Amino acid sequence: MMMILYWSLPSVLYILGVFTFVLNRKHLLSMLLSLEYIVLSLFLLLFIYLSMMSFEGFFSMMFLVFSVCEGVLGLSILVSMIRTHGNDYFQSFNIL
């Protein structure tokens, strides 16, 4: 019973994060927050898996480092978008 709880909680958190990411496509900041939520749920899933298999936490620390780098890159894109366009709406951001 406890094993089902260990695997179902991060899975539900991941699905909710993806659902939030799909629904909030108007602002870049809300999309970045939902991406960070997805990364944290994946970290929880990874941590549970590694602790059940009796592995060390080195890979989970590497995962956290890369997720922080991803967050910093997203924030830098947000700042540059606000400086050039004045807001973070995707409608005002023309890729062409």
CATH of the domain at 45: 1.10.287.3510
Q: Tell me whether residue 42 is in a domain.
A: yes
Instruction: Provide the pLDDT for residue 87.
Output: 78
Q: Tell me whether residue 90 is in a domain.
A: no
Q: Tell me whether residue 20 is in a domain.
A: yes
pLDDT tens-digit profile of 44-76?
888 888 888 888 778 888 999 999 999 999 889
Instruction: Provide the pLDDT for residue 5.
Output: 75
Confidence of residue 40 (pLDDT cuts 50, 70, 90): very high
What's the domain count of the chain? 1
Check: CB of residue 20 under 8 Å from CB of residue 40: no
Mean pLDDT of the chain: 84
Single pTM value for the model: 0.82
Q: Tell me whether residue 95 is in a domain.
A: no
Q: Tell me whether residue 91 is in a domain.
A: no
Helices assigned H by DSSP within the chain: 2-23, 28-52, 58-85
Q: Tell me whether residue 21 is in a domain.
A: yes
> 24: number of CA atoms within 13 Å, CB side?
16
